[in-house]
Structure 1
Amino acid sequence: MPVTTRRIPFRDLETWVQVTEPEAPVPGALPLVVLHGGPGMAHDYVKNLAALADETGRTVVHYDQVGCGRSSHRPDAPEDFWTPALFVDEFRNVVEALGLERYHVLGQSWGGMLGAEIAITRPEGLASLAICNSPASMRLWVEGANALRAELPEDVRAALDAHEADGTIDDPEYVAATQVFYDRHVCRVQPTPQDFLDTEAQMLAEPTVYHTMNGVNEFFVTGTLKDWTVVEEVAGITAPTLVVAGEFDEATPSTWEPFVDRIPDVRSHVFPGASHCTHLEQPEAFRAVVAAFLAEHDADAEAFEPS
């Protein structure tokens, strides 16, 4: 598949963008823009979605959101610089720079939260939205994570509680305890896929965005997003929406049910045996579900038969 990269100016920053073209383009198949998670985790762990280019005959766009990966970093930016509105504006800038008049959006984890923020504004070019493994509210996310945490072995829970209380979250015992949670609810593939490790490594090397907006880790949320919610606003989303999650996802059903309950044109799919990184755990099945949904909402949908 032909792959090109470029850097797109955004304010006084730059966004690194990768565009994957299909070998055999399908007429009417609209481009797909992929939004990665974190915030601040870069695109590497979702780069396998580029396979949708050849599988569906459409262009697939990945980009690293500012503050991470190959895009501009701002480790000295004030806390209030890093807001959802910043990333909505960056998305609009990428779409405009690429000349995308009509497109699909797929967001994973934080990317799905960002996708919802984008869709609430009802951009004219948005043909469909896929919200993958994402909460509609961080309060619901923390409640779900706490419920999953309560199911961890007693010694693991004790280590988490003790080190959080003491502020010793860099202690190897705490890191090992968090990994037990991650192995159950973030990515169940062992060994951990290299794409995920690459994303994690770049975040740990420069964690400004993740630590500012999220906090310490996936279930100890202390960042600026801790009160984030779009529960009331998602009723205004007009784009057809697919909501997906894994059976053992850290995004528990209560976190994403507001999307299903409130978005007018919505469907959902839960992958048995999968967790938060469904696209890494069950890549072919994940892409098949997404591909069928995209085909239904392409420019010439009548020419497609969902598989």
Structure 2
Amino acid sequence: MKLKVLICSVISVFFFSNCQEKHKEDSIKANYLDFSKRDDQLTGGIKMIPIKTPKGTFKVWTKTVGNNPKIKVLLLHGGPGLTHELYECFDGYFPNESIEYIYYDQLGSYYSDQPNDNSLWTNERFVEEVEQVRKSLGCDNTNFYILGQSWGGILAMEYALKYQKNLKGLIISNMMASAPAYNKYAEEVLGPKLPKAVFDQIKTFEKNKDYTNPKYTELLFKYYYTEHILRMPVDQWPESINRAFKHINSNVYVYMQGPSEFGITGNASLKNWDVTAKLKTISVPTLVIGAKYDTMDPKHMEWMSKEVQNGRFLLCPNGSHLSQYDDPTTYFPGVIKFLKDVDNGEFKKA
């Protein structure tokens, strides 16, 4: 009799806890698009957040989509100097999962203030900017996730290395942990895969610093971009991507990344950036996303997922640098599963 009562009690507790969890999920879904209790209802989620810098206070543009007190994902765009528009395809995936996400143009990018001062374009200052954005949005380690792609991945790693205590989860998308390793991969692996005559022409343009030559651009788009940036014919590239490239701040991009598409070169400030030795200090749950045809070495990114303390690797077999667009059937399920696993306390490292 006692055993029967005990079994009934265990079943009741299990059933009750499951019902509570289901009620919470239903409540989040029901209130996902309710802006009535928010201070950004009139602007549809848009906030211009003031950012203090050594050169004064400026404003950065953010837009929050949805309400979820448990999962809030800040999207760090690439470039540097590109825009949140690189992530607009997330609208087709995250809302259906009731995931709150925040579009964000970093200082210097199109929708934010664009001060003309190169001393502002440092990793350390961008990290402090992200921290100020977090505080302004009211996120903390019970709900705050960062997803950074390309340069945004560099910024995500740098933020985690200083402020991981404020994170619930970290997603590093399509970015290696070392600029020199990225340069080597571009020069020794990707470049030689191009037709020799094409690669020779590209290197000649770069040697002569003739980066604005229309022929240089034409060769890159025809032979490199459609293989390793976004694997679609250029005339089929999504409008959001074309808009992002149209809005690029070339000054920020060239100062930090350099003018070449084969690695970070010249006097670019990121040329010697390398945090491979520091990855082991990152303990927050981490998803590293690589792609077979990426400009970044997927094997290096798989290594990164094992170097951090609690990492998982996602390979997009049909993807390139913008794998959210050319391999969404792998990218989004993998990202969503990571977010849900961490949120539910079910995350297991690879």
Residue pair 2:302, 2:313 contacting (<8 A) in 1 also:
no
- What residue is the counterpart of 1:225 in the other structure? 270
Distance in 1 of aligned mates of 2:201 and 2:106: 34
Residue pair 2:211, 2:260 contacting (<8 A) in 1 also:
no
Task: Within 5 Å, give how 1:185-196 maps onto structure 2.
Answer: 185-190=228-233, 191-196=236-241
1:152 equivalent to 2:152? Answer: no
- What residue is the counterpart of 1:301 in the other structure? 345
| Greater Rg over alpha carbons, structure | 2
1:268 equivalent to 2:310? Answer: no
CA distance change for structure 1 residues 297 and 55 in 2, over 3 Å: closer, same or farther?
Answer: same
Residue pair 2:179, 2:263 contacting (<8 A) in 1 also:
no
Distance in 1 of aligned mates of 2:170 and 2:341: 12
Residue pair 1:16, 1:70 contacting (<8 A) in 2 also:
yes
- What residue is the counterpart of 1:44 in the other structure? 85
2:106 corresponds to which of 40, 65, 73: 65
Larger RCO: 1 or 2 (CA < 8 Å, sep 6+): 1
1:215 equivalent to 2:254? Answer: no
SS of the residue 2:183 aligns to: helix
Residue pair 2:291, 2:298 contacting (<8 A) in 1 also:
no
Distance in 1 of aligned mates of 2:209 and 2:161: 38
Bigger shift: residues 2-11 or 93-102 = 2-11
- What residue is the counterpart of 2:6 in the other structure? none
Residue pair 2:93, 2:332 contacting (<8 A) in 1 also:
yes
Distance in 2 of aligned mates of 1:122 and 1:89: 10
- What residue is the counterpart of 1:111 in the other structure? 152
Residue pair 2:298, 2:315 contacting (<8 A) in 1 also:
no
1:81 equivalent to 2:120? Answer: yes
Task: Within 5 Å, give how 1:128-139 maps onto structure 2.
Answer: 128-139=169-180
Q: How far does the alpha carbon of each residue in 1:15-39 deviate from its partner, in whole angstroms, 9 at most, with x for none?
A: 10010015xx5xx631111111111
SS of the residue 1:34 aligns to: strand
TM-score by length of 2: 0.80
Residue pair 2:49, 2:60 contacting (<8 A) in 1 also:
yes
State the identity as a percent: 28
Distance in 2 of aligned mates of 1:217 and 1:19: 34
2:230 maps to a residue whose letter is: C
Distance in 1 of aligned mates of 2:177 and 2:263: 17
- What residue is the counterpart of 2:14 in the other structure? none
Distance in 2 of aligned mates of 1:166 and 1:58: 48
1:88 maps to a residue whose letter is: V
Q: Which runs of 5+ in 1 are unaligned?
A: none
Residue pair 2:66, 2:99 contacting (<8 A) in 1 also:
yes
Residue pair 2:288, 2:312 contacting (<8 A) in 1 also:
yes
Distance in 2 of aligned mates of 1:167 and 1:53: 42
Distance in 1 of aligned mates of 2:91 and 2:260: 27
Structure showing the higher helix proportion among its residues: 2
Distance in 2 of aligned mates of 1:123 and 1:129: 9
Distance in 2 of aligned mates of 1:254 and 1:301: 28
Q: Which runs of 5+ in 2 are unaligned?
A: 1-32, 36-43
Residue pair 1:140, 1:254 contacting (<8 A) in 2 also:
no
Residue pair 2:81, 2:109 contacting (<8 A) in 1 also:
yes
Distance in 2 of aligned mates of 1:220 and 1:32: 28
2:45 maps to a residue whose letter is: T
SS of the residue 2:276 aligns to: coil
Distance in 2 of aligned mates of 1:56 and 1:29: 12
CA distance change for structure 1 residues 217 and 164 in 2, over 3 Å: closer, same or farther?
Answer: closer
Distance in 1 of aligned mates of 2:94 and 2:238: 21
SS of the residue 1:267 aligns to: strand
Bigger shift: residues 250-259 or 240-249 = 250-259
Count of residues paired in the alignment: 294
Distance in 2 of aligned mates of 1:109 and 1:197: 17
- What residue is the counterpart of 2:22 in the other structure? none
Q: How far does the alpha carbon of each residue in 1:199-220 deviate from its partner, in whole angstroms, 9 at most, with x for none?
A: 11111xx311101000113315
1:252 corresponds to which of 294, 297, 309: 297
Residue pair 1:279, 1:286 contacting (<8 A) in 2 also:
yes
Distance in 2 of aligned mates of 1:121 and 1:50: 30
Residue pair 1:122, 1:237 contacting (<8 A) in 2 also:
no
